[in-house]
Amino acid sequence: MEHVTINPWAALAYLVAGVCFILALRGLSSPTSSQRGNRFGMIGMTIAVVTTLVTHAPWLVTNYAEDSYVARLDTVTLIEILAAIGIGATIGIVTARRIAMTAMPQLVAAFHSLVGMAAVLVAGAAFLNPEAFGIAAAGQIFTQSRIEMGLGVAIGAITFSGSVIAFLKLNGNMGGKPIMLPGRHVINLAVLAGILGLVAYFTQDQSPWVFWTITGLSFAIGFLLIIPIGGADMPVVVSMLNSYSGWAAAAMGFTLHNTAMIITGALVGSSGAILSYIMCRAMNRSFISVIAGGFGGDSGGGAAAAATDRPWKRGSAEDAAFLMSQAEQVIIVPGYGMAVAQAQHVLREMADKLKEEGVRVKYAIHPVAGRMPGHMNVLLAEANVPYDEVFELEDINSEFAQTDVAFIIGANDVVNPAAKTDKSSPIYGMPVFDVNKAKTVLFIKRSMGGVGYAGVDNDVFYQDNTMMLLADAKKMVEEIVKALG
Amino acid sequence: MDFISILSIFVMAVFVGYYVVWSVTPALHTPLMAVTNAISSVIIVGALIASAAIGIGGTGATSKWLGLLAVVLASINIFGGFAVTARMLAMYKKKDRPAAGHK
C-alpha cells in the first residue's frame, strides 16, 4: 500500500504537540493546575501550526514544479494564511471576552459547529486537491484515504448541523420542545445506511457526486438526529457533539497521517463520550433513549395541574432571612433557574451575610444542573464563590440530615423524592438530593403552577417543613439580603 | 507511517484520554469542553496544507479557498476556545484568597 511520507522531524514535533494536549487535559484535574494546563494547550497548538508552516517552506519542498499541485508556501500564500488566522483570532478573542457565562452552553455548541465545518472544508479541499496532501498518485486517491476522508467528512458534517440545531435550541431561537417527525427512526436509519453504503462505494468510484452526496446526507442526518431531542437532554447532546468533533479531527488525522490530530481527536472523542455517560447516569437515562429523543419540552403542565390543590406554605423573604440566620448550616442547591434569573452574584452576597452571622454555607451541585456539564460551577465561580465551598452530589448528600436549612434556587427535578419512591415517575432512578431530610426547606420558585423539565410534580412543595418562596429568584434573594441587614 | 502504527497511536490515545478525562474534577467540566474544543481545532493543520497548495485549475483554486476558509473557522475556535477557557479558569478561587474585582 502507498504511504504518505512525512519528514521525521515534523512527525516528532506533531508528537510533542499531541503530548502537550494530553497535559492540557491533565491540568484540569484540579483548579490550581488548570491554568498551567491551558497554557500547555496553547503551546501544543503553536507547535502544530508552526511545524506545518515550516515543512511547507519553499526551501524544504523539493518535489515542487511550477505545474504541480504540491503545497508550497510562497510569500503571497503566507500573507493570505496569516490574514485568515488574524480574522479568526479577532472574532474568537472578542467573542470569548464578551460572552456571558450563562451563555456558555450556546458558545460551546457554536464552537463545535465550527470544528465540524472546518473538518468538512478540509476533507473537501483534500478531495479536490489530493496531491497537495500526498494522498494520491496520478489523480487516483488511495483506497484507504478514501475511506478515512469519507468518514471524516461525514462525521464533520453531522457535528456541524447537529451543533447548529443544539445552538438554536440553547440560544432560544428554536423552542426546546422535541420536534417529532413521523417515522423518524426509519428515515434516520435509512440515511445512515445510505452514508455508509456511499463511503463503501467511494472506494470504487471517486466521482465528485459520491463525495458530495455523502456530505449532503451527513448534514441532513445531523439535523434529523438533534431536532427530536428536548431541552432537558441538551447537556447530553452538547457532550455528544463534543465527542463527534473529536472523532472528526481523528478521521482527518488518519487521512493526513498526522499524530497531533490523531492524539487530539482520540482525547476529545473520549472526553465527550465520558461526559455524555456522566450526564446520562445523572439522569438515569440510557444513551439510546436520549438519542431516540422526545423527552422534555420547555415546560410540562398536565401532571402538575391536578396536584396543586394540595396544601402548601408560603413564606416571605423576612421569614427566610430569620430561619437562615438562626441556622448552623445552610446548603444551597442551585439549578438552571438561578442562571436564567442571573441570581448567582446576589446569592453569593446572601451567603457572605450568613457567614458573617456564623452560619456555615455550602453549595450542592447536581451533575445535570444547568445546560452543560459543570455549568453551575462556572457560574458560582464567576460570582466569586470559592470552589472549596461547592460540593458534588455524592460528597454532600449525606449531610442534609444534619442541615438546618436547604435553600433551593432554580432547581426542581434534582430534589424530587419521586425519583426514589415513585416507580411510575419519568425521573424514577435518577440520583437526587435528599433535601427533604433537612430541618427546613426553603424553595424559591416563580409560581406553584410550573413544574420541572421532566414535567412531574414535586412532593417537597407540600411538606410540613417546606416554605415556598414564590418570586423571581433574583428579586427574592435581594429581599433576603435586605432582610438580613 | 503505515496504517497499523497510526491505528496503534489512535487506540493508545483513546485509553490515555479515558483515564485523563476521568481524573478531571467535575467542577471543571465546562472548561474541559471549552479546551477540548480549542484543541480539536488542530484540524487547522489540514487547512494550512490546503491553503499552501498552489491553486491550479478549477478544483485547485477551490481547494485553496476551502482551506483558507477552514483556517478562519479553526482560528476562531482556537483563539476563542483558549481565551474563554483562560477566562473561566481565572474565576476559580479558593476560600482564603480575597475576592478579586470581577463584578
* CA atoms of A443 and B94, how far apart (whole Å): 28
Q: Which residue has the higher pLDDT, A313 or B58?
A: A313
| pLDDT level of residue A107 (50, 70, 90 thresholds) | very high
Backbone angles phi, psi at B55, to 5 degrees: -85, 95
Task: Identify from A167, A377, A392, A393 which residue to disrupt to test chain B contact, counting B C-beta atoms within 10 A and taking the largest count.
Answer: A377
* CA atoms of A386 and B92, how far apart (whole Å): 7
Residue numbers in B near A1 (CB within 8 A): 2-3
Q: Do A125 and B50 touch (CB under 8 A)?
A: yes
**Which ranges of A257-388 would DSSP assign to H, the alpha helix?**
259-283, 287-292, 302-307, 317-325, 336-341, 344-356, 375-382
Q: Is A241 on the interface with B (CB under 8 A)?
A: no
In tens, the pLDDT along A213-239 reads: 999 999 999 999 888 888 778 888 899
- Residue A316 C-alpha cell reads as 416571605
Q: Do B38 and A45 touch (CB under 8 A)?
A: yes
| pLDDT level of residue A25 (50, 70, 90 thresholds) | very high
Is residue A283 over pLDDT 60? yes
Q: Which of A304-318, A393-407, B64-78 is least confident? A: A304-318
Report how far apart, in Å, the C-alpha atoms of A59 and of each of A16, A277, A353, B6 are.
24, 49, 67, 28
Task: Identify from A32, A42, A389 which residue to disrupt to test chain B contact, counting B C-beta atoms within 10 A and taking the largest count.
Answer: A42
How far from chain centre, in Å, is Cα A240? 8
pLDDT of the residue at A285: 81
- Identify which of A112, A335, A369 has the alpha carbon closest to the alpha carbon of residue A238: A112
Highest mean pLDDT among A63-77, A341-355, A435-449: A341-355
pLDDT of the residue at A65: 56
Average pLDDT over residues A417-425: 83
| Interface ipTM | 0.90
How high does pLDDT run on average in chain A? 87
Q: Which residue has the higher pLDDT, A484 or A450?
A: A484
Distance from B4 to chain A by nearest Cα, in Å? 11
Q: What residues 29-58 of chain A have any CB closer than 8 A to a CB of chain B?
A: 29-31, 34-35, 37-38, 41-42, 44-45, 48-49, 52-53, 56
In tens, the pLDDT along B74-94 reads: 999 999 999 999 999 999 987
Handedness of CA B57, B59, B63, B69 (dihedral sign): positive
Report how far apart, in Å, the C-alpha atoms of A327 and of each of A46, A186, A437 are.
53, 57, 15
* CA atoms of A413 and A220, how far apart (whole Å): 33
Distance from A5 to chain B by nearest Cα, in Å? 7
Q: Do A34 and B89 touch (CB under 8 A)?
A: yes
- Residue A326 C-alpha cell reads as 438562626
- Identify which of A65, A411, A374 has the alpha carbon closest to the alpha carbon of residue B34: A374
Angle A77-A80-A83 (CA atoms, 0-180°, nearest 5)? 150
pLDDT of the residue at A45: 96
Strand, coil or helix: what is A429?
A: coil
Is residue A296 over pLDDT 70? no
Q: Do B3 and A24 touch (CB under 8 A)?
A: no
- Helices and strands, number each (H, E), in chain B: 4, 0
CB pairs under 8 A between A and B: 404
Backbone angles phi, psi at A417, to 5 degrees: -65, -15
- Residue B85 C-alpha cell reads as 477557557
Q: Do A269 and B14 touch (CB under 8 A)?
A: yes
Average pLDDT over residues B58-85: 92
Is residue A7 over pLDDT 90? no
Average pLDDT over residues B34-47: 94
How crowded is residue B14: how many other Cβ atoms within 10 Å of its Cβ? Answer: 19
* CA atoms of B63 and B55, how far apart (whole Å): 7
Report how far apart, in Å, the C-alpha atoms of A364 and of each of A354, A397, A399, B97 are.
17, 8, 10, 21
* CA atoms of B97 and B16, how far apart (whole Å): 34
| pLDDT level of residue A299 (50, 70, 90 thresholds) | very low
- Among A22, A70, A268, beta carbon nearest to B16: A22
* CA atoms of A131 and A129, how far apart (whole Å): 6
Average pLDDT over residues A97-110: 93
DSSP A262-291: HHHHHHHHHHHHHHHHHHHHHHT--HHHHH
- Report the predicted TM-score, pTM, of the whole model to 2 decimal places: 0.89
- Identify which of A373, A412, A409 has the alpha carbon closest to the alpha carbon of residue A234: A373
Q: Is A9 on the interface with B (CB under 8 A)?
A: no
Q: Catalytic residue numbers of A?
A: 413
Is residue A291 over pLDDT 60? yes
Task: Identify from A121, A170, A384 which residue to disrupt to test chain B contact, counting B C-beta atoms within 10 A and taking the largest count.
Answer: A121
Q: Which residue has the higher pLDDT, B1 or A266?
A: A266
Residue % of chain A over a pLDDT of 70: 91
pLDDT of the residue at B25: 92
Q: Do B54 and A68 touch (CB under 8 A)?
A: yes
pLDDT of the residue at A64: 58
Q: Is A10 on the interface with B (CB under 8 A)?
A: no
DSSP tag of A142:
P
